[in-house]
Structure 1
Amino acid sequence: MPSGLAALLDDISIIARTASASVDDIAAAAGRAGSKTAGVVIDDAAVTPSYVTGLDPSRELPIIWAITKGSLKNKLLILLPAALLLSEFLPWLIIPILMLGGAFLCYEGAEKVMEKLGGAKHGKNLESPIEDPVEFEKERVSGAIRTDLILSAEIMAITLSEVATESLLTRAGVLAIVGIAVTVVVYGTVALIVKMDDVGLHLAKEGKTAGGRRFGLGLVNAMPHLLTALSLIGTVAMLWVGGGIIIHGLHELGVLFPEEAIHEAEHWVETLAGGLGPILGWLTFATLSALIGLVLGVIIVFVLHNVLGLGHTEHADEAVVGGH
């Protein structure tokens, strides 16, 4: 009996040590993977505030919370199982799926650029009249969750590539940890950004010192400029990330020239720039990726709207509203 109990305790000890090692492996792998997703996280954080711009301030946090829940569902209920299944049974399909997501980001970014340059506006936008605030809010949330799905897919794919040789349990643990951590960081940051003006207004009115009131007023005045900058950053990041996905996907499929040419330009700038080489080299890679994304996005916009006739222009939307 004692020997049986000792054997049982020994087995439990081995299981506990194995579990502990597994947790350590997951934590280490999650740290490696999380650092590789920084670019997409910036994109996500820059894009999201635009989805609450122009709406009632009292609805900002509920909308962000709705998007946050949608993002968690995207990552944990859709992308995590899909990533594990693909990595187990159809690993060759991951690159084409990512490239479709990259093409979608290029399309979204290019459409925003074309609208800013005076092109036709497609669907509802910030300049369109809001006939039904509730329906408009639903559309805004669904649009944010749809974009988040693409960005989250890229985050999960980058994460998966970092742990491709790990066990199924480790892969699942890392994907879950990174997915939750990124969601909390991104949407927590977004919540702080969009409430900056409310905090500033409170300080401007209720601040106990002149310096505090001036600081509050400065926050209020800075908010429109910050949102404009974030909108610009978000558009550029869409093109940069989307173009980068396409370029890397082509390289993985055997079309080497685009990525190799961009890396050559990056290394050339790094060599010439001296101490600023790493920063300017990265900017070169990001800029060229964004330009490729813009060209591809413009082609997709033209094909969808002018060849296939998909999507409605702003005038078409107004005609429909007028008909009602």
Structure 2
Amino acid sequence: MSGLIALFDDVAAIAKVAASSVDDVIGQATKASAKAAGAVIDDAAVTPKYVAGFKAERELPIIWRITKGSLRNKLLFLLPAGLALSAFAPWAIAPLLMLGGAYLCFEGAEKVAHVLGWSHGHEDHPGKEKVVENPASLEEEKIKGAIKTDFILSAEIMTISLAAIPESSFWMEAATLAGVALIITVAVYGSVALIVKMDDVGLAMANGSRLAPLRAIGRGLVRGMPGFLKGLTIVGTAAMLWVGGSIIVHGLEELGIAGPAHVIHDAAYAVGHAVPAGWTGFTEWLVKAAIDGVLGLVLGMLLIPLGEKIITPIWRRVFAK
């Protein structure tokens, strides 16, 4: 009997360790996902355009296929690549992260420049074929384009997440990155599905509800969605510039160039301690985020000629067909 009780004690202990490990994985995955906020918000802001123009009954199937492609990008390609990088070339993580940060700055600055009329952004470019396709072919092209775009953003998300994971065992890193992939994908494409169908929900409420308040809410949803999507794009752009600038500053610090990080920290500290005590932490974060965002915008603006004149034409030529 004593042996059986000891066995139960051992099983209970193993179960506690397993539960603790699961909690650790979920906690680390959640924190790492939060670090990738800029790319995540931009992903959610960009994706709805891929279902624009299709019949309502095709919207969710298209999003589901993009979701599966996104998971395939993260779990089959980027996760093994990230683990290999961590195991065999950890020195390369900071430079790659800075490269991804520069990409975020470029993307964010290009959106700003497009609004100001200084850049064509992602509009149709000269020489792009304009072919009237049947709906099935068009749907396939849209899905392929969305999954390609997702791969770029997912690579940035996974790299940021990998850098945010505390040093741990191979399996802990693998489980955490897998958790990040699932959390981010569900959050992004679940949100996209809600956003895309919200106007349909509003229309159904406006036309089918017997209660006047519900009809009013439905009309408000229909009228408010264009503004909401525009606001989401603005927030996504600001987040990209903030995160991109922050990555560059942190990367420079990792490479031994700590001056910019110290200047930003001192400025945020000075402003934060000039306001009432209850607002100190928030003010410090806000000032730091604002400075990082401005730096990201400046860097992105400098990168626009390089991106539009050299990198983008090469990319289009390589992936033309």
TM range (shorter): 0.7 to 0.9
- Structure 1 SS opposite 2:119: coil
Give how far 1:83 is off.
2.5
Give how far 1:176 is off.
1.7
RMSD in angstroms over aligned alpha carbons?
3.0
- Structure 2 SS opposite 1:240: helix
**Partner of 2:104 in structure 1?**
105
Contact 1:269 1:281 in 2 (8 A): yes
Aligned runs of 1:150-299 on 2, under 5 Å? Answer: 150-158=156-164, 160=165, 162=166, 164=167, 166-274=168-276, 275-299=278-302
Separation in 1 of the partners of 2:93 and 2:311?
30
Shift of the 254–46 alpha-carbon distance from structure 1 to 2, 3 Å rule, reads same
Separation in 2 of the partners of 1:216 and 1:272?
45
Contact 2:242 2:292 in 1 (8 A): yes
Choose from 41, 44, 49 the match for 1:48: 44
Contact 1:102 1:245 in 2 (8 A): yes
**Amino acid of the structure 1 residue aligned with 2:293:** A
Please state if 1:73 is matched with 2:72.
yes
- Structure 1 SS opposite 2:273: helix
| TM-score scaled by length of structure 2 | 0.82
Contact 1:83 1:156 in 2 (8 A): yes
Shift of the 29–263 alpha-carbon distance from structure 1 to 2, 3 Å rule, reads farther
**Partner of 1:95 in structure 2?**
94
Separation in 1 of the partners of 2:145 and 2:77?
21
Separation in 1 of the partners of 2:163 and 2:249?
15
Shift of the 140–23 alpha-carbon distance from structure 1 to 2, 3 Å rule, reads same
Separation in 2 of the partners of 1:147 and 1:311?
19
Deviates more, 1:232-241 or 1:20-29: 20-29
Separation in 2 of the partners of 1:130 and 1:13?
69
**Partner of 1:139 in structure 2?**
145
Give how far 1:188 is off.
1.3
Contact 2:35 2:160 in 1 (8 A): no
Contact 1:203 1:213 in 2 (8 A): yes
Contact 1:75 1:156 in 2 (8 A): no
Contact 1:101 1:150 in 2 (8 A): yes
Q: How many residues align?
A: 302
Contact 2:201 2:218 in 1 (8 A): yes
Separation in 2 of the partners of 1:20 and 1:173?
18
Q: String of CA shifts for 1:32-72, please: whole Å, max 9, x gaps.
A: 44135325246413542333234325343233323322322
Separation in 2 of the partners of 1:280 and 1:226?
26
Shift of the 42–296 alpha-carbon distance from structure 1 to 2, 3 Å rule, reads closer
Contact 2:250 2:261 in 1 (8 A): yes
Structure 1: 5+ residue stretches without partners: 1-5, 313-324
Overall identity of the aligned pairs, in %: 39
**Amino acid of the structure 1 residue aligned with 2:98:** M
Give how far 1:22 is off.
4.1
Separation in 2 of the partners of 1:66 and 1:148?
16
Separation in 2 of the partners of 1:172 and 1:19?
20
Aligned runs of 1:115-130 on 2, under 5 Å? Answer: 115-124=114-123
Give how far 1:13 is off.
7.9
| TM-score scaled by length of structure 1 | 0.81
Shift of the 237–42 alpha-carbon distance from structure 1 to 2, 3 Å rule, reads closer
Give how far 1:12 is off.
10
**Partner of 2:155 in structure 1?**
149
Shift of the 172–56 alpha-carbon distance from structure 1 to 2, 3 Å rule, reads same
Shift of the 18–183 alpha-carbon distance from structure 1 to 2, 3 Å rule, reads same
Structure 2: 5+ residue stretches without partners: 315-321
Contact 1:51 1:141 in 2 (8 A): no
Separation in 2 of the partners of 1:138 and 1:207?
38
Shift of the 88–141 alpha-carbon distance from structure 1 to 2, 3 Å rule, reads closer
**Partner of 2:305 in structure 1?**
302
Separation in 1 of the partners of 2:162 and 2:62?
24
**Partner of 1:84 in structure 2?**
83
Contact 1:200 1:216 in 2 (8 A): yes
**Amino acid of the structure 1 residue aligned with 2:107:** E
Contact 1:22 1:170 in 2 (8 A): no
Q: String of CA shifts for 1:102-135, please: whole Å, max 9, x gaps.
A: 111111111111111102314436xx98855443
